[in-house]
Structure 1
Amino acid sequence: MSKYARESIIKGNQLLMPPGDAICYSGYREGQSPQTGDFPSYNEIHEDLLLLAPHWSYLRLYDCSQHALTVLKVIVENNLDFKVMLGVDLGAEMSNPNCPWGADYPDHVLQQNTQANEREIQRLVTLCNTYEDIVFAASIGNEASVEWNDHMVSVDRLVHYAKHVKQNIAQPVTFCENYVPWRDKLKPLVEVVDFISIHTYPVWEYHTIDSALDYTQLNYQSVEEVHPNMPIVITEAGWTTTSNGRGIEPWNASVQLQSEYCKQLAQWSKQENIMTFMFEAFDEPWKGSADAAEPEKHWGFFFVDRTPKPVMNGVFGG
């Protein structure tokens, strides 16, 4: 049985894990994208993990693609000291009229997505069992229930996926989502998962650095108040360093603001013993629009060329 069996690492409302910093990791470089199936090579991922290893113990992966499989292989074959939260990339199983950029799909596409999701969930089970001493938790999806998303999955289906995964792996099971749905919509899912995983982005909600940490704390506490007996992890929090004004004012995105927010966030998380996955290890050029200043592309602690941003000086040991 996995050394991360849920019975041994969850006690009451606490997730009992060895101390260590946590970060989200997506290793796609220029010309690579999960959408096109152009994946980072073994050597590129090895290079990335060697950059991350001095600073972080926990990695969060978003799917069970070739990218994730290569990450797991690199960790095993190079004896790297990482523990991994493994996820799945769910496609839309229902249309969502609330999505600002459009999420209206024909029935045959939704059916295809549902079948693909079921295969992805099974890959999650397989990888959790194959790499049981590395994968410490499994997430059944990412931002698939929040009102604005373009890959909506019903709560009933999320409950179904969570139950299936729990029946077939030893590790604890979660779902990664914006803090808002956890307060009400996802209550049926709370009854099934082992811990709650929330996302909090003050800068997306028009906060400046002066109120950012307070707002993050309010986000966390608003979920904690509704579910006081559940462990809560922050699986995404960060600050973009560039913006073209799409959703974030350009003056509110910089390497200095990223460094300050993440410093405050890291200090508070350690003080309160909250596992917090910083978003994101590396800039992601494949995301968002073609505009180079698209804010989605610039959340990394390292630039896409793998040079460090100022956040790495002082906050995470240089």
Structure 2
Amino acid sequence: MKKYMKTTIYLLLVIIAFSCKNNTKKEIKTNVVKGVKSLSAKDILGNPDFLAMSYGGYRNVDHDVEPAIDELKEDMKLLAAMGVKIVRTYKVHLPQATNLLKAISELKDEDPDFEMYVMLGAWIDCKNAWTAMPPDHEQESEANANQILVASYLANQYPDIVKIIAVGNEAMVKWAETYYVQPRVILNWVTHLQDLKKEGKLPEDLWITSSDDFSSWGGGGTEYHTEDLEKLYNAVDYVSMHTYPYHNTHYNPEFWGVPEEEEDLSDLEKIDAAMLRAKEFAMSQYDSVSGYMKSIGVDKPIHIGETGWATTSDGFYGASGSRATDEYKQALYYRHMRDWTNAAGISCFYFEGFDEPWKDSNNPKGSENHFGMINIKSQAKYPIWSLVDEGVFEGLTRNGKPITKTYDGDSDALMQDVMVPPLASETKAPE
């Protein structure tokens, strides 16, 4: 309850500030017109020169500890050094999103050549989400309206930076049992934002989407094939879908286990082959969304709003589970996904830039804490060791520490932690 009250107070303060600055339709329009001319989402998405990354700047186990603007600047410089030029955020009811935009704006003032854009997330919940009361998936949270209001304001305040608003994160997928909503809720807010664009109250080249699991976009079971989903396809500017072969090594492992014809391969060859199958699994989910979209007569861009591979797990994906988790596999998956999506003109918001220890705060070895490319010790993981060698991080720090390599750069030591996937005959989906 204490955390809820803090969030509510923050939102109220932000909304009051917005109301004072934008109390007439004329003022809002003026704000948009004065926006700095820059590239649009249409120019950026699918362009391999604009690598995309999911971003959370929370460095502490305690999620109440907000990253300072200087820390956000530190992270943006590191991501820019990695070639990232567009980052995705998830919610606006906490200070990070607002402060991130301030940080990027200040970096641009300090260096006119600095370039970073934002896919701004507006978090969407059902009624009673994250409370002791049963979630009501037929009604939405009253807080959703404030998320949309704040996101709209920030898009107007920073039209040179905010290029996309994503309405909800995995907000329609039914396994999100604590908070999912019906597609009509997402549709209503997407339509509202599109109407604001038509009325000149949002930048006309701002793109609106929702970022959700491939199944929510019709790529899975037919229970998702609804009239409201078809309307949502027609309402968004593009589709932002998630795909996670990593999680499916436990939940849908048919692709993961070593097949009989590969049992005589070396351990490394078995791992390499499994990671190629992981890429093909992601591609098949992308194709399933594309196929459904075409079946309803819609033709819009599809980009990957989230995908990634964790490097530590003591649970489903670790040594006693699917054996999917280590830095070598993360490096292969990262390379495969970048190679495929860059060649295909697909943006891939890879999850994620930095480890976030708050996500499974009671279990330091929980996989959700370890999807980042840089860990909390300011060490670059194996996928980007080459960037350390190239010197792209020279002069840059995180938490005051220079960026070094995990395992002290010892690849032999790293490979000792690499696990071979189980045989196909040993894998089975959970009941």
- Which structure would you say has the larger Rg? 2
| Contact 1:145–1:181 (8 Å) recurs in 2 | yes
Shift of 1:189: 1.3
Letter in 2 for 1:82: M
Q: Larger deviation: 290-299 or 201-210?
A: 201-210
SS at match of 2:81: coil
Relative to structure 1, is the Cα distance of residues 70 and 302 closer, same or farther in structure 2, using a 3 angstrom cutoff? same
Q: Is the 8 A contact 1:286 1:297 kept in 2?
A: yes
Q: Which residue number corresponds to residue 264 of structure 2?
A: none
Paired residues of 2:46 and 2:347 also in contact (CA < 8 A) = no
What's the TM-score, normalizing by structure 1?
Answer: 0.87
Q: What is the aligned partner in structure 2 of residue 124 from structure 1?
A: 151
Q: Does 1:187 align with 2:230?
A: yes
Which residue in the other structure is 2:335 paired with? Answer: 263
**Equivalent position of 1:241 in the other structure:** 311
Structure 1 stretch 284-293 or stretch 19-28: which is displaced more? 284-293
> What CA distance in whole angstroms lies between the structure 1 residues aligned with 2:181 and 2:247?
23
The more displaced of 199-208 and 277-286 is 199-208
Counterpart pick for 1:172 among 207, 218, 233:
207
Identical aligned residues as a percent: 29
Deviation at 1:247, TM superposition (A): 5.5
Alignment check: 8 A CA contact 1:246 1:294 kept: no
Q: Retained in 2: the 8 A contact 1:280–1:300? A: yes
Question: Residues 4, 164 of structure 1: CA spacing in aligned structure 2 closer, same or farther, 3 A cutoff?
Answer: farther
Q: Does 1:114 align with 2:120?
A: no
Q: Tell me the equivalent position of 2:3.
A: none
Partners of 1:124 and 1:17 in 2: CA distance: 25
Match of 2:419 in 1: none
Q: Name which of 86, 96, 120 aligns with 2:120.
A: 86
CA distance in 1 between counterparts of 2:182 and 2:310 reads 30
Over aligned residue pairs, what C-alpha RMSD do you find? 2.7
Letter in 2 for 1:81: E
1:251 is matched with 323
1:9 Cα shift?
Answer: 2.6
Judge which range, 76-85 or 195-204, deviates more. 76-85
Is the CA contact (8 Å cut-off) linking 1:32 and 1:40 kept in structure 2?
no
* 1:280 alignment partner, one of 352, 367, 374: 352
Asked whether 1:48 is paired with 2:75, we answer yes
Question: Equivalent residue for 1:161?
Answer: 189
1:219 aligns with 2:285: yes
1:99 is matched with which residue? none
CA distance in 2, matches of 1:68, 1:301: 21
**Which residue does the alignment assign to 1:57?**
85
Larger proportion of helix: 2
What is the deviation of 1:264? 0.7
Q: Distance in 2 between matches of 1:117 and 1:68?
A: 16
Q: CA deviation at 1:251?
A: 2.3
Aligned to 2:240, which of 163, 185, 197? 197
CA distance in 2, matches of 1:275, 1:62: 17
Q: 1:94–1:232: structure 2 CA closer, same or farther, 3 Å change rule?
A: farther
Deviations 1:155-176 (A, max 9, x none): 1111111111122223110000
Q: Which amino acid aligns with 1:181?
A: S
Gaps of 5+ in 2: 1-32, 109-113, 197-201, 219-224, 250-255, 257-273, 393-431
Answer whether contact 2:243 2:282 (CA < 8 A) is retained. yes
Count of aligned residue pairs for this structure pair: 304
In the other structure, the counterpart of 1:139 is: 166
Equivalent residues in 2 for 1:69-84 (5 A)?
69-79=98-108, 80-84=114-118
1:290 match: secondary structure? coil
**What is residue 396 of structure 2 aligned with on the other side?**
none
Secondary structure of the equivalent of 1:174?
A: strand
* Cα distance in structure 2, aligned partners of 1:22 and 1:30: 24
